[in-house]
A and B are shown apart, each in its own frame.
Chain A
């Protein structure tokens, strides 16, 4: 079937800054079909990192080790048969990735999100260069996002420009908690960050993926505050802000903010990987809340590979529904909902051309949640 599609439309999808040729060598089974429904899958948040001890910065070994062990603990929340030994987890190979993500994992396009952490990892944990080098070997399968750090000043602006020009990046991953020369984090609402957001927009960046996670500095501020995204999203209406991990552990603050900002999206990495298998009832509640507050048009799947393999997440989510009537006051989950979340929403954000047979009718699916509010909460 894939061959037929490729034959019919040699440019199956195009990326904004470079034409790519369709993938080759794929078998029919690579295209994920379930119950007669065809899914175009974009893994919008995944990694190719190197956390091997040989990459640990001397003197910072305990942080480098603590970081990857923390990631590894997350993997334990997935099905036991998908757990890896820590040695593989520190430095999985290109072959591992291609098999887990594409061959077995059903993914059609994967978006690299870099994480530098150069204070702890000598070559960086997961840099734009490392990702793009892998992407170049497999044309059409990856999108290489880049990053910036407002504390890098003019040099950082130059690096951002070079990366966008060289790798055609349409998105950046911002790690606001990252350490940098003694500083242990920054806010999206900092003036220095606005300078970078302006430059990014000029360069053609559309999508700002914001990690909301471990914030260590300033220590006494709320470590997981999302209000800086609120400010930036209001002031940069031409950019999309994808809050990865939905602001966990502050989902409630994220939802309340997202419902007021049309350009804020929910990145589901960690939500599916961390809850769907380990805590299915909480997963249902979180999904229900996200569908209510954020809506199915603004939620994007990300496997967070190599933390979790995409295969079980995608197959499980396609089969998923609320487990009981207890969830009757949340928006319904339809096939269209799943198609949007698993790929079509991210395809729109990244201008990925999707063959017509994967699309959902414009009227399909539940409306965004706000209209339901009166029904659910009517007094």
Chain B
């Protein structure tokens, strides 16, 4: 997978010299995993509790085991997370070989073998898939931009900013916050305008400013998108806790934007 979009860590993972010990490499691998997100929940797999274990041998062989909330979590998202984790771990200096294993999933064998062989999604599901997953990933980035817009705009609205005022603001007008930084990163990931001089409200598909008569609907839709993502996250984290009761924090509440796996199966 080539199009991994990640949250750069606040401090980039240290460029670990080969002489650094196993502990240093392990720390760097864990930091690298923290840049891998569930594409639908827009949250790192580490805070979601999806990383079951992470070990590095003296020879630099890294092994990561991943787990998901259900046996039937959607295989396309599962594939993206396993492949992204493989890419992130492989890139860590000091890692001589990487192995990422998805456990307890109906398609685990196909996904694990496909990622290990660098085969891509289509080849991994021979005859069952017709295209790679880049467009799927982009769709969820657009959702993340919308949800992130609500996160940034809602506090401003509480302070009395009218929708028309919000539409006149640029990213540079907004006080710095983690939510703002995240919104800028998501926009940049999509190739959308993300500089300080660009409008706060843009169409996440085209990057065009939102037309005045569409502002109300745009904000309403941003709120709805955030709610949907948050609801998914809450259900998925509950399912994960049920499946792995001792392995997940009681309230795995990531900062700001909450979001669980898209991957649940409603009955």
Contacts and interface: CB of A to CB of B under 8 A. Distances in A.
A214 B265 contact: yes
Contacts of A245: 266-267
A244 B221 contact: no
B221 A256 contact: yes
A256 B230 CA distance: 17
Given A220-B133, A275-B235, A377-B220, A252 B265 contact: no
A289 B217 contact: no
A320 interface: no
B254 to A, nearest CB: 14
Nearest to B241: A76
Of the listed residues A69, A77, A213, A377, the one surrounded by the most CB atoms of chain B closer than 10 A to its CB is A377
B72 A214 contact: yes
Nearest to B245: A76
Contacts of B219: 377
Interface residues of A, number: 54
Contact of B216 (A211, A269, A307, A377): A377
A29 to B, nearest CB: 29
B58 interface: no
Given A217-B128, A220-B133, A289 B75 contact: no
A299 interface: no
Nearest to B213: A379
Nearest to A256: B221
Interface string B124-147: 010011111100100100010000
A248 B74 contact: no
Contact of B231 (A74, A219, A285): A285
Contacts of A102: none
Contacts of A223: 74, 76-77, 262
Interface string A282-314: 100110010011000000000010010000000
A17 to B, nearest CB: 28
A220 B132 contact: yes
B267 A77 contact: no
B209 to A, nearest CB: 14
Contact of A212 (B224, B225, B243, B266): B266
A7 interface: no
Nearest to A65: B71
A82 to B, nearest CB: 14
B65 to A, nearest CB: 18
Nearest to B225: A252
Interface string B210-243: 0011011101110111011011101100110111
B256 interface: no
Contact of A214 (B74, B213, B234): B74
A270 B238 CA distance: 13
A378 B227 contact: no
Contact of A270 (B131, B217, B267): B267
Nearest to A76: B242
Given A220-B129, A251-B231, A278-B234, 5 more contacts: A74-B239, A76-B238, A218-B130, A251-B232, A275-B234
Interface of B: 40, 69-72, 74-77, 106-107, 121-122, 125, 128-133, 136, 139, 143, 162-164, 167, 212-213, 215-217, 219-221, 223-225, 227-228, 230-232, 234-235, 238-239, 241-243, 261-267
Interface of A: 62-63, 66-67, 69-71, 73-74, 76-77, 184, 211-220, 222-224, 244-245, 248-252, 255-256, 269-270, 274-275, 278-279, 282, 285-286, 289, 292-293, 304, 307, 373-374, 376-379
21 contacts: A67-B71, A69-B71, A70-B265, A76-B239, A77-B235, A184-B128, A212-B266, A215-B74, A219-B129, A220-B121, A220-B136, A223-B77, A251-B228, A252-B228, A269-B266, A274-B266, A285-B231, A373-B220, A377-B163, A377-B216, A379-B164
